[in-house]
Structure 1
Amino acid sequence: MKYLSPFLFTVSVLVSSTALKAETLWIAAEGGVYRSELNEQSGELSVPELAAAFDSGSFLAIHPHLDVLYASYRDDSGAGYASLVPSGDAGRLQLQSVQRVSSGNAHLSVSENGRLLAGAHYGEGVNYVLELEADGAISDRWTRLVQSGSGPERPQTQARPHWVTFAKKDSLLHSVDLGTDEIWTYGVGKTANSVQLLHKVKFPAGTGPRHMALVPGSNTAYVSGELNLDVNTFFYDEQSGRFSPLQYISTVEDPFPDKQISLSEIQVHPNGRYVYTAVRGLDLIVTYSVDPQTGLLSLVERKDARVHWPRNFTVSASGKWLIVAGQRSHELRVFEIDPGSGELSPTESRIELQSPVCVRAWDRI
């Protein structure tokens, strides 16, 4: 474990005091977007139902104010972005709009004001920023942000943006680039063509940063290092949009030369006290506790994910359950979260679904 100088931080407690009886899960998998209900008392998942059919989609996002769900989108005609709205049939969604771009499989983020949609395109080395209409539909007004550079590892032959998010009341856009070992930070105005690069911050060579958990109301951010298997802790100065490294901590006990091992998702528990990340190949969920004064992490446990290739997971809004998607074992499983320690206990709740790649706990639509 390597530490750099600590900073004080505060965390907003996000857990609702009112436990939900059921919570809607949205899942991107082969064939489109699926819907399942999580029983908040038992942790049981209902059999997933196809809500919107298309060839495939890799990530989901939701409008902050409207009943509109966004998905990366691919069909016989090409790839891009889709907005989905309730169809009138219970649990079903219909296409509201589709915007084609040159590639699909993007990680998505919607601005807090609901005016912009951003997508990170790993294969193409670009981010797209698209304007949204008043009803949430995706417009044809967009800009293409090309990133450049490389790193020492085999997947780092080019820039590979893997994650984006808006910040500072939508005036900033952060893009985590696996290929260049950097976070690219852009300034954002009211339109898509207003976006301009401000600065970049570098990770240790070969980190392969994948996803970030930017904690609302705090000055701490956590990034999963897909290639070197580290979780990276940063002090985040929202005013300037700059990141300063605090800590690099490995998810595994010993170095593993097997290149089939990699990190995927990373999330902070709604109470801000625990951080979770997934290790593909070893098929683990790793839990860390967060020091409330410094934001630094301490290992709590490494738990068998009980799925093969945990591509994605989510923590329920209540903070009681963690749902993990096994892309290669074609299933989702549920763990109960100990509120006092953050430790995970497996349940018998399991559903089958072909190649799930994104699961989100939004009790909406």
Structure 2
Amino acid sequence: MPGKADIYGINTFELLTMNRLIKRLLNLFFTLIPFLSITAQKPGSQRLLIGSYTSGIVSDGIYYYQFNANGSAELISKTAAADPSFLAVALNKPNIYAVNELGNGMGAVSAYQFDKVSGNFELLNTVLSGGDHPCHISIDSKSRFAFVSNYSGGNFSVMRIEADGSLSNAIQTIQHNGSSANKSRQDKPHVHSAFISPDEKYLLVQDLGTDQISVYGLNLNNTRPVSQKPISVFNCNPGDGPRHISFHPTKPIVYAVQELTGSVTVLNFNKGSLRKLQQVNMFVKSDEKKSGAADIHVSPDGKFLYASNRAEFNDLSIFKIGQNGWLQWVGSEPTLGLAPRNFAIDPTGKFLLAANQNSNEVVVFKRNLQTGKLTDTGKRIGVSKPVCLKFVD
């Protein structure tokens, strides 16, 4: 007859082995609980990507967070990347793209397979950017092409996005020429960004070095989607230094932030042509501090405009948008850190996150939806040299 330990057909050794296995599984389960609580997205939470400068100091460059309804954030995952200073997130596809600001005249762009739930990153490939010092990337809504701006190269390149999400080598590189009034910053072209118009018929290219915003025709059904020459060119004031733009969500208006003069230009945009309506300063005219305007965004409801200023300001300018699209000064809010190169408004419009590059943290502000003013939540996201914030749909 079997002994007590063997009464169910299981001997003592098998019982001990099973107990060890159960303990290991329980330990693994309890270890994964914090991770599972994040990847199982909390009600009201959103997902946030942060790109940063690495400069050989840290190995990680792209960070993925859960951004909670109370303004706090929890790290989900991160991946190594070389100076991923600007990111683009594919719509309805599991891919993200990053420029790599490599030195010594080199520039690159990387494509990643990206699981928005788990936060898993897989590098697909890296290709040359077609110029020196790439600083901006945008992609169309169906992920057919990527448009990369090369600051020091003074040009922008177009890469085809393959079926698997990887990037081709540059299929178009369009070189700018010229200079402008500020001899120390505008001795040659410096393409700083290339934004696709909401109807995806045009590509608006901001050149800080030549003080020009060039509008190129865009046909995403063509193998070479960008017109070889611009269909129109808007000349900014000499010494302005156009850097980034933001489209109004419902009006035919484009807002351009001018890095060197610390101002915002309001432009009517109609059939590929830009017409100046207004230009406003981001600070009191008598202020003699050095300006380094950087980023610009319209709030999701189209009622307010925000623009960041680095250098000796380290603040955000706030403007109310009128019915005609013109701007009215509301005030400015310190970003509570150094060098707010980039910022983002969350899709609900309730929060504004300022990436302070030189103080290594993202400061979370609460937005007043009626006045546009900002209040510090006390919440911070500690990241080494954060320079790009992208909410993930």
Could you tell me how far 1:113 is from its partner in structure 2?
Answer: 2.9
2:73 is paired with a residue of what secondary structure? coil
2:224 alignment partner in structure 1: 192
CA contact (8 A) 1:130 1:192 kept: no
Alignment correspondent of 2:99? 72
Residue 307 of structure 1: CA displacement? 1.3
Other-structure match for 1:140: 169
Letter in 2 for 1:44: S
What SS does the corresponding residue of 1:83 show, helix, strand or coil? strand
CA contact (8 A) 2:337 2:359 kept: yes
Out of 296, 311, 331, the residue aligned to residue 361 of structure 2 is 331
Q: State the one-letter code of the partner of 2:261.
A: N
**Counterpart for residue 30 of structure 2:** none
Q: 1:51 aligns with which of 78, 95, 99?
A: 78
CA gap of 1:88–1:222, structure 2 versus 1, over 3 A, is closer
Partner of 2:263: 230
Alpha-carbon shift at residue 90 of structure 1 (Å): 2.4
Shift of 1:92: 2.5
Q: How big is each residue's C-alpha offset from its partner over 1:190-242, in whole Å with a ceiling of 9 and x where there is no partner?
A: 223653222211111111111000223420110111011111101111xx211
- Deviation string, structure 1 residues 271-302 (Cα, Å, up to 9, x no partner): 0001001111211111111002x100111121
Aligned mate of 1:341, from 360, 366, 371: 371
Matches within 5 A, 1:78-89: 79-86=107-114
How many angstroms does 1:131 deviate by?
Answer: 1.1
Cα drift, residue 135 of structure 1 = 2.9
| Matched AA of 1:209 | P
Q: Which consecutive residues of structure 2, in runs of 5 or more, have no partner in the other structure? A: 1-41, 55-59
The aligned runs of 1:100-111 (5 Å cut-off) are 100-101=128-129, 102-111=131-140
Deviation at 1:49, TM superposition (A): 5.4
Unaligned runs of 5+ in 1: 1-18
State how 1:119-134 maps to structure 2 within 5 Å: 119-134=148-163
Q: 1:168 to 1:320 in 2, by over 3 A?
A: closer
How many Å apart are 1:256 and its aligned residue? 4.2
Take 2:66 and 2:341, find their aligned partners in 1: how far apart are those partners? 20
What secondary structure sits across from 2:358 in the alignment?
A: coil
Per mean C-alpha deviation after superposition, the further-off stretch among 98-107 and 144-153 is: 98-107
- Give the alignment's TM-score, normalised by structure 1: 0.88
TM alignment of 1:274-353, pairs within 5 A: 274-280=304-310, 281-292=312-323, 294-353=324-383
2:68 to 22, 39, 44: 39
Q: Secondary structure at the match of 2:83?
A: coil
Q: Which amino acid aligns with 1:93?
A: F
Equivalences for residues 225-264 of structure 1 within 5 A: 225-237=258-270, 240-259=271-290, 261-264=291-294
How high is the TM-score relative to the length of structure 2?
A: 0.82
1:152 paired with 2:175, answer: no
For residues 14-33 of structure 1, what are the structure 2 equivalents within 5 Å?
21-29=44-52, 30=54, 31-33=60-62
Q: Would you say 1:97 and 2:121 are equivalent positions?
A: no
Structure 2 CA distance, aligned partners of 1:76 and 1:231? 31
Q: Percent identity, aligned pairs only? A: 25
Work out which structure has the larger RCO, using CA pairs closer than 8 Å and 6 or more positions apart in sequence.
1
Aligned partner of residue 36 in structure 1, secondary structure: strand
Could you say which residue in structure 2 is the equivalent of 1:8? none
The aligned residue for residue 11 of structure 1 is: none
How far residue 341 of structure 1 moved from its aligned partner, in angstroms, is: 1.1
CA distance in 2, matches of 1:176, 1:217: 22
Q: How many residues align?
A: 339
Change in 2 beyond 3 A, CA 1:66/1:244: same
Residue range with higher mean Cα deviation, 218-227 or 99-108: 99-108
Distance 2:63 2:343 in 1: 15
Measure the CA separation in 2 of the matches of 1:295 and 1:286. 17
Q: Map residues 167-182 of structure 1 onto 2, 5 A cutoff.
A: 167=197, 169-182=199-212
**Contact 1:170 / 1:188 at 8 angstroms: preserved in 2?**
yes
Give yes or no for the alignment of 1:216 onto 2:249. yes
1:332/1:88 CA distance change after superposition, 3 Å: closer
Q: Which amino acid aligns with 2:205?
A: S
Determine the C-alpha separation between the residues in 1 that align with 2:144 and 2:275: 29
